[in-house]
Homo-oligomer: A and B are copies of this chain.
Amino acid sequence: MDIIGEINEKGVVEQRFDLKVESEVVPGILWRPADKLEGIPTILIGHGGTQHKRVENVLGLARRFVRHLGFAAVAIDAPGHGDRITDPDAAAKARSRLERQIAAGPTGRPFEIPESEMGAWAERTRRGRDEWKALLDDLPSVGLTGPYGYWGVSMGTAIGLPFVASEPRISAAVLGLAGLNNRIGGEGFEATARKLQIPILFIYQWDDELMNRESGLALFDAIGSKEKTMHINPGGHVATPLFERDDYDLFFSRHLK
C-alpha cells in the first residue's frame, strides 16, 4: 500500500493510501494512534451500500476505535463505491432506489435484488472479499501485524461475511442488518454463515425496511460460531442506536486485546 497523504486530528493520525489489487487501484484510509503502533489490534471497517470509506458512520467508528481502545482502523472503498464510481448516473439511481425503499417503511418482505443485477452483485462480493484479503497481506508492512477484527453491516456484511468466514486472520467480527432468504448475500450465503467459527456480534433492526424479522433471525441462527450474540433494536435500517457503539468497544476489547 502506498501512503499518499496524512493528517493528524486530536491525536488520531489519518493516512490515505492506494492499494493495487488485480490491476485496480483501491483507495483506503488508515486511522491510528499518534504515539503507539507496535502490537496494536486493527479493525477493518466495511461501509454500507451507496456509502464510501469516509462516510460519517465509518469515520466516527474509526476515530472511536483509536481513541477509546488505542487500536488502528482501516477502511477501503468497496467495488463501485466512493472514488471507484465509474458511472455516476447508475450510482445515483441505486442510491435513490435504496432511499425510496427506506422511505416506504417496512414491508415485511426481504429486499430483493433484480435478477438482472445478480451477476454484478456476486462479482462485487467476490472482488470485495479479495480486496480485504490483499489489504491484510499488506498491513504488516506498515507495522500492523494483528490481531485483526472486522466491522461491517448491510453491504458490509454481504461482502464481509464471506470474507471473515474464509479468513483465519480475522479473530472477531461485528456483522448485521442482513438476512437470509433474499439475494443480498448471493448464492451460498447460508452455507458460508454456517462455516463461521469466530465470535460474532450480530446487530439487527426490528423494523428494517430492507429486511424482515424472519430473515435476520434465520441468518443469526445459521451462524456457526459458538459465541454469537444478536442485538435487536426497534427502528429502521439506518436507525441503529448510537449506544451500540459501546458494545462494539466491549466486544473488540474482549476478543482482540
- Which residue numbers of A lie inside 8 Å of B, CB to CB? 206, 213, 217, 220-221, 226-234, 241, 243, 246-247, 250, 254
Evaluate contact between A250 and B241: CB separation under 8 angstroms: no
User: With contacts A233-B229, A234-B228, A247-B247 known, is A221 near B206, CB below 8 A?
Assistant: yes
Chain B nearest CB, measured from A196 CB (Å): 13
Evaluate contact between B246 and A250: CB separation under 8 angstroms: yes
In the complex formed, the residue of B with least CB distance to A249 is: B250
Q: Which residues of B contact A206 (CB under 8 A)?
A: 221
Evaluate contact between A220 and B243: CB separation under 8 angstroms: no
In the complex formed, the residue of B with least CB distance to A225 is: B234
Residue from A227, A229, A230, A246 with most neighbouring chain B CB atoms (10 Å) = A229
Copies of this chain held together in the complex: 2
The distance in angstroms between the C-alpha atoms of A227 and B243, with both chains bound, is: 11
Evaluate contact between B234 and A232: CB separation under 8 angstroms: no
The distance in angstroms between the C-alpha atoms of A233 and B227, with both chains bound, is: 8
Q: Which residues of B contact A229 (CB under 8 A)?
A: 231-233, 241
Chain B nearest CB, measured from A10 CB (Å): 24
Q: Which residues of B contact A217 (CB under 8 A)?
A: 213, 217
Evaluate contact between A254 and B243: CB separation under 8 angstroms: yes
A–B pairs, 12, beta carbons within 8 Å: A206-B221, A217-B217, A220-B232, A227-B241, A229-B233, A229-B241, A230-B230, A243-B250, A243-B254, A246-B250, A247-B250, A250-B250
Evaluate contact between A226 and B232: CB separation under 8 angstroms: no
Chain B nearest CB, measured from A225 CB (Å): 9
Chain B nearest CB, measured from A66 CB (Å): 20
The distance in angstroms between the C-alpha atoms of A250 and B242, with both chains bound, is: 13
The distance in angstroms between the C-alpha atoms of A170 and B231, with both chains bound, is: 23
The distance in angstroms between the C-alpha atoms of A168 and B230, with both chains bound, is: 30
Q: Which residues of B contact A213 (CB under 8 A)?
A: 217
Q: Which residues of B contact A246 (CB under 8 A)?
A: 250
Q: Which residues of B contact A234 (CB under 8 A)?
A: 226-228
Chain B nearest CB, measured from A49 CB (Å): 25
